[in-house]
Amino acid sequence: MIYSMTGYASATREVVADGAGPNGAGGSGVGVSVELRTVNSRFLDLNFRMPEDVRATEPQMREMLMNKLSRGKVDIRINLNRVEQTANAGALNREALTQLATLERAVLDVFPDSERMRTGEILRWPGVLAESAVSQETLREAVLACGKQAIADLIEVRAREGAALGRVLIDNVTEMEAIVARITPLVPELIAKHQQKIVERLHDALGIATSDGATATSVPREEIAERIRQEVTMYGIRIDIAEELQRLTAHLSETRHVLQKGGKVGKRLDFMMQELNREANTLGSKAAAKELADASMTLKLLIEQMREQVQNLE
């Protein structure tokens, strides 16, 4: 299996405040969310954005990501959404209320004309409303749990996209193999045909015979024939693309093997694209016929398409 370096995943969790009643009654809660966004990169680049309340989770989150990912730029966003629940009777600290009532009666005994406390003042008195906050340990566990889920989802997303990219690359390899197989048998015939044209042009250039068949040069015919043979042989060597086609076949076979084997294939395939492009360029520079030039152009277009896709593979 191969993996893409691009993907998105998120996970959320609601954390009920410690000491809160059922459904969070009588206290506050925190909504925890972890978002992961990844794009292609030569190396693994982790960028964290999180509240200071959960900064302590960064080392463990970093370790979790490094155990699962090898390449890519990863943006990690951790958000906390604190929700204050509406206070009700169950949220009142009755012990604090009793103590406050005792204090009020003591004050009224000494200052009978004093006003009694209003409800709002009573509720604002420290300790009257039961304070139920989410502990740091509970918050840390929630963030790590969300992070673990988000990473698992991200791996699945990257695997699905990687599989799709793999199918595209395999199709390109198959098309390139078909092109190489089609032009390989044509090479000897094309070279021979081109060599014959060169022989005819050299005969005309060196003036071996005039239009009526008379010799038009003082250079011996044997010397001219040997010169032509040497030139044609050298030209045949320069335009022979058999080795390039063999290397293309070998590189395509290796590319197919790497894709089918899977794993961390990005860097390996990037190298293979360089080698394929090198052979396709050489093929184009040595093309002695339109069929070979067209084949070279098509190969380079397919290789460029593959190179763009390979840049997204882990």
The per-residue pLDDT of the chain, averaged, comes to 82
pLDDT top residue among 16 and 210:
16
Segment 75-98 shows an average pLDDT of: 73
pLDDT top residue among 306 and 122:
306
DSSP codes joined into one string, 225-269: HHHHHHHHHHHHHHH--HHHHHHHHHHHHHHHHHHHH-BS-HHHH
Q: How confident is the model at residue 234 (pLDDT cuts 50, 70, 90)?
A: low
Q: How confident is the model at residue 221 (pLDDT cuts 50, 70, 90)?
A: low
Q: How far is 122 from 109, CA to CA, in rounded Å?
A: 19
Give the phi and the psi of residue 309 in degrees, each rounded to 5: -70, -40
Q: Where are the domains of the chain?
A: 93-124, 163-310
Please state whether 170 falls in left (phi above 0), alpha (psi between -120 and 50) or beta. alpha
Segment 45-50 shows an average pLDDT of: 95
Estimate to the nearest angstrom the gap between the alpha carbon of 28 and the chain centroid.
40
Instruction: List, in sequence order, the alpha helices (H) in 18-113.
Output: 58-68, 94-110
- CB distance 14 to 82 below 8 Å: no
Q: What is the largest CA-CA distance in the chain?
A: 147
- Per-residue pLDDT tens over the stretch 27-43: 567 889 999 999 999 89
Give the phi and the psi of residue 70 in degrees, each rounded to 5: -115, -25
Nearest Cα neighbor of 278 from 307, 253, 256, 257 is: 307
Q: How far is 154 from 184, CA to CA, in rounded Å?
A: 44
**pLDDT score for 148:** 96
pLDDT top residue among 29 and 306:
306
Share of the chain above pLDDT 90, in %: 46
User: CB pairs under 8 A, 24+ apart, for 298-307?
Assistant: 298/179, 299/176, 299/179, 299/248, 302/172, 302/175, 302/176, 303/176, 303/273, 303/276, 303/277, 304/277, 305/172, 306/169, 306/172, 306/173, 306/269, 306/273, 306/276, 307/270, 307/273, 307/277
Which pTM does this prediction carry? 0.68
- Per-residue pLDDT tens over the stretch 175-197: 999 999 988 887 777 666 666 66
Cβ neighbour number for residue 308 with a 10 Å cutoff: 10
Strand ranges (E), 178-235: none
Residues, the chain, total? 314
Q: For the ranges 37-46, 96-105, 300-309, which has the lowest average pLDDT? A: 96-105
Q: How confident is the model at residue 89 (pLDDT cuts 50, 70, 90)?
A: very low
- Per-residue pLDDT tens over the stretch 247-270: 999 999 999 999 999 999 999 999
Helix axes 58-68, 136-183, angle to 10 degrees: 20
Q: How confident is the model at residue 93 (pLDDT cuts 50, 70, 90)?
A: confident
For the cut 60, the answer to whether the pLDDT of residue 131 exceeds it is no
Q: How confident is the model at residue 291 (pLDDT cuts 50, 70, 90)?
A: confident
Give the phi and the psi of residue 207 in degrees, each rounded to 5: 65, 45
Token readout for 275 is 């080698």
Q: How confident is the model at residue 242 (pLDDT cuts 50, 70, 90)?
A: confident
